Amino acid sequence: MKIAIIGGTGGQGLGIAIRFVQAGEEVIIGSRTAEKAQAAVDKVKGFLGEVKNVKAAENADAAEEAELLVLTVPLAAQKSTLLSIKEAAKGKTLLDATGPLESAIGGSPITYLDLWDGAAAERSARILTESNVICAFNNISSAALMNYEEPIDCDCLISGDDVDSKVVASELIEKIPGVKVIDCGPLERAKIIEKITPLLIGLNIRNKTQFGGIRITGLDN
């Protein structure tokens, strides 16, 4: 599958890109400028060697070429980034990893920022009206993703309204070693999933680690 990491130059986007490159997927790292995207690709190759299945592009071009999109931008850049890829994203699935944290407005990263839209992923769905938006990757730390030589001891909680898109997303995400996807239901559950992010950040800070995650136990599937 050809995957575009929209805004993929930060730790989270870079980590997701590395994991999918390792899984053999075709990855396009997107950014506002081709130069920043290429710098991220160079970092991936610095870690993994001269891999052939990763390249750089501006966000809109990456979204146009890809089959599936992953949004990994800060909350402050979410709306403008989505508007820049809206046409290219029509009919496609977008995994939204945006964290609504008060750090977006100069506050604390361990405090949730309430949005009028309910959740950041719901905000994306209201902008990308012809795309299938899924809340995903909110509870896996960038440090765990970037620790690419080790499996990730964490579940990935997702929510979304399109069942087929969730199946495709789940199969893709579970190619990351150690990760199990938990389908939490419709997109409106995103506000619950996203609130786990500041909780985990706070726990990591308190315990002086970067790898704390979450596991859901006792489920049959």
Structural domain includes residue 72: yes
**DSSP structure class, residue 189:** G
Q: In whole angstroms, how large is the CA radius of gyration of the chain? A: 16
Domain of 161: which CATH number?
3.40.50.720
Residue 53 in domain: yes
Give the total number of structural domains in the chain. Answer: 1
| Domain membership flag for residue 50 | yes
Nearest to 40 by CA among 1, 85, 6: 6
Residue 126 CA to residue 194 CA, distance in Å, equals 17
Residue 181 lies in a domain: yes
> Residue 171: inside a domain, yes or no?
yes
Q: What angle do CA 193, 181, 7 make, to 5 degrees?
A: 65
Say whether 145 sits in a helix, a strand or coil.
helix
* pLDDT tens digits along 57-93: 999 999 999 999 999 999 999 999 999 999 999 999 9
Q: Which residues contact 164 (CB under 8 A, 6 or more apart)?
A: none
* Residue 52 placed within a domain: yes
Residue count (the chain): 221
**pLDDT reported for residue 221:** 61
State how far the Cα of 82 lies from the Cα of 58, in Å rounded to an integer. 13
Q: 218 lies in a domain? A: no
Specify if 221 maps to a domain: no
| Cα 38 versus chain centre, distance | 19
**Inter-residue contact 191 to 122 (CB < 8 Å):** yes
Hey, what's the torsion of the CAs at 215, 217, 220, 221, to 10 degrees? 0
Host domain of residue 110: 2-206
- Determine the 3-state secondary structure of 209 from DSSP: coil
- Per-residue pLDDT reduced to its tens digit, 134-193: 999 999 999 999 999 999 999 999 999 999 999 999 999 999 999 999 999 999 999 999
- State both tokens at 68: 């599936």
Distance CA(141)–CA(119), nearest Å, equals 19
This prediction's pTM: 0.94
pLDDT tens for each residue of 104-147: 778 888 888 888 888 999 999 999 999 999 999 999 999 999 99
